[in-house]
Amino acid sequence: MTFKFIAGICIVLAGFGLGCYHSEKLKSYLEICSQTAELFRSSSIMIRYRGLDVYELANDMKKSGKYPSLTFLHNIPESYIPGDDFHEIWRRSVMREKIIPSEEQKLLCGFGDIIGSSDTEGQIKSITAFEKEAELLTDQRKEIYIKKGKLYRSIGLLFGLMGAILVM
């Protein structure tokens, strides 16, 4: 009897833990998306008012500490290395990060392609478009997290309880 009770509790906790895991995954997607939108917003300001080049911009992003979920920034070199293409380094770094959802990867790769490739005004217009897309995506991710996050936790607990009942 005691063994069944302990097994039942473990099954309930496992089900609830699995539901929480999936809910947290949605939350991390939301954080990545909101940090991506913030990266676009602050990049536009830095390019407009400080006239930073791509390496200075990447270094400023790394040092700011505002983007803990965007770990690919640490793979960007601090200065120009002859023979290296910044845009290709950026793209490879973004694509290597498996925790970044594909929509955000697409936005970040597009952003990496345009920074440093045209005049200041052209970059700012393009970055503003990326920022708007990221904000729309953030709103969608927020709605999904609110709806499905609670659902995943509830279903996890429910299946855990059902499993516990079957064991007992």
- How does DSSP assign 46-93, residue by residue? HHHHH---HHHHHHHHHHH---TT-GGGGGS-SS--TT--HHHHHHHH
Q: What is the CB neighbour count within 10 angstroms for residue 86?
A: 20
**For residues 163 and 115, what is the distance between their CA atoms, to the nearest angstrom?**
53
pLDDT tens by residue, 133-158: 999 999 999 999 999 999 999 999 89
On the question of pLDDT at 52 being above 80, the answer is no
Please say whether the beta carbons of 67 and 32 come within 8 A: no
Amino acid (one-letter) located at 4: K
Residue 135 or residue 55, greater confidence: 135
